[in-house]
Amino acid sequence: MEPVPVEGETVPGVPRLRASYVLDAEGAWIAQARHLAAEFLGRARTEDGLPVPDRVVEITQLVVSELVTNARKYAPGPVGLDLRVFGDAVEVVVHDANPEAPRPRNSDPGRVGQHGLEIVMAVAEALDVRQEAGGKSITARIALSA
């Protein structure tokens, strides 16, 4: 799981910072993904001087955890994780091989589990699902001022 760094300039439509990972090993995908997200935002702080509040790191780790968990549970094969800083937000993009878009369930406080998408929708500024060749991508946008 080596990052693929992409140097971005402050140009509309181009991320300031970006890292891409493929989560394909057996084991602790979710913990690894959370660690990668924290490490990425730590680099944004130290290398780019970007003010990233601890709360944003926590929210980003939560979103990564929920989206990677869903991909691991419902899609075969490796999962792609892209982390990007665009302007005043961090974007978490998870790619998987299941083309079916996730659907939020009706609120049910008695339901045990399966609240991941509801959680992501509650903490993210925006959520976008796109069909791709061989699957889908889900992008959650988190304000750096969250």
At 123-145, the pLDDT tens digits run 999 999 999 989 999 999 999 98
Q: How many CA atoms lie within 13 A of 107 on its CB side?
A: 3
Q: Say if residues 66 and 119 touch (Cβ distance below 8 Å).
A: yes
Question: How much of the chain, in percent, has pLDDT values that exceed 70?
Answer: 82
DSSP string, 55-69: HHHHHHHHHHHHHHH
For residues 49-72, give the mean pLDDT: 94
Cα(106)–Cα(19) distance, integer angstroms = 34
CA distance 25 to 130: 25
11 close to 50: Cβ distance less than 8 angstroms: no
> Is residue 101 predicted with pLDDT exceeding 80?
yes
pTM (2 d.p.): 0.85
> Can you name the residues that pair with 128 across neighbouring β-strands?
139
* Digit-coded pLDDT (tens) for 78-91: 899 999 998 899 99
